[in-house]
Amino acid sequence: MYLYILFSYCGVKYNGSAIQKNNNNTIQGILTKIFNKINKSNYNINLLSRTDKHVSAYEQIAFFESKKNFDYKHTVKKLNLTLKAHKENIYVIKMGFLSNEKPYRNVKKTYIFKFSLIRNAVIEKTHEYLLCDNAFAKINNIIQILNNKRFDYFMFCKQAEYNKRPTNQILNIEAFQLKQDNIDTINIEFTGSCFLYKQIRFICGTIKKILEKNITINQSNIVEMFCKYKYVGKGQALYLKKFHLTLN
């Protein structure tokens, strides 16, 4: 059977979520090490989604195969006490049974990219900044155009590469939505079923550049503009929000 660990983390001090060669400072590596230490075990713990360096998660799901039953509440308590003692920015929410078969990693998920308006720059030092107060309306206009387009061209550097793309490419992003939580923060929520983080950082970083240059975007020039002003947004501004998955 496969068990899950639902947890959150602030990724600013970590080198991404996935285990890397010659780099122990990753979310997966630290969680695996501490879980096996307190349980005197050797489980291979995997993640349902990756996040880049500095990217945080409101919800992340780890899973592993086990023939052993756990006292879930007790294990969660021990995990959090040990993580806190090691001064790790990881908090376990709950643990439980996931499935009898190995989980499919491309489960639907939602990411958030946070923009802060320039007047709040002192508070939100790690976020991307927009330089105008009417940014919400401008981003909303771009999103209305993007919602009628394929998203695969965000992975190409030049329009010529986009024109030569395979016709059967997967449409990773299913939908995205613009929200303004308060007068100082604008969030764009992306939902899809693949590893979206590179596309999202490209989309949002390029939107920022287009706004700074005060370029008018329309149906005919959007591919050209995004290829021309390709810019990767900061990892600190990206958050994995949730998985569209029912957990026991």
Structural domain total, the chain: 2
- In terms of domains, do 138 and 193 share one? yes
Residue among 34, 99, 111 at smallest CA distance from 66: 99
Beta bridge pairs of residue 90: 9
Residue-wise pLDDT for 168-190, tens only, equals 444 567 778 888 877 778 898 98
The CATH number linked to 193 is 3.30.70.660
Residue among 15, 10, 194, 223 at smallest CA distance from 111: 194
pTM over cut 0.75: yes
Domain span at residue 222 reads 109-243
In a domain, 12, yes or no: yes
| φ/ψ (deg, to 5) at 40 | 50, 55
Q: Which of 67, 99, 131 is the last residue of a domain?
A: 99
What are the residue ranges in the chain where pLDDT is below 70?
A: 105, 118-127, 131-133, 148-172, 195-196
What confidence score (pLDDT) does residue 118 get?
Answer: 66
What confidence score (pLDDT) does residue 107 get?
Answer: 84
In a domain, 104, yes or no: no
- In terms of domains, do 119 and 184 share one? yes
Contacts of 27-33 with C-beta under 8 Å, sequence gap 24+, read: 27/51, 27/60, 27/90, 28/62, 30/86, 30/88, 30/90, 31/5, 31/7, 31/62, 31/90
Cα-to-chain-centroid distance, residue 223: 24
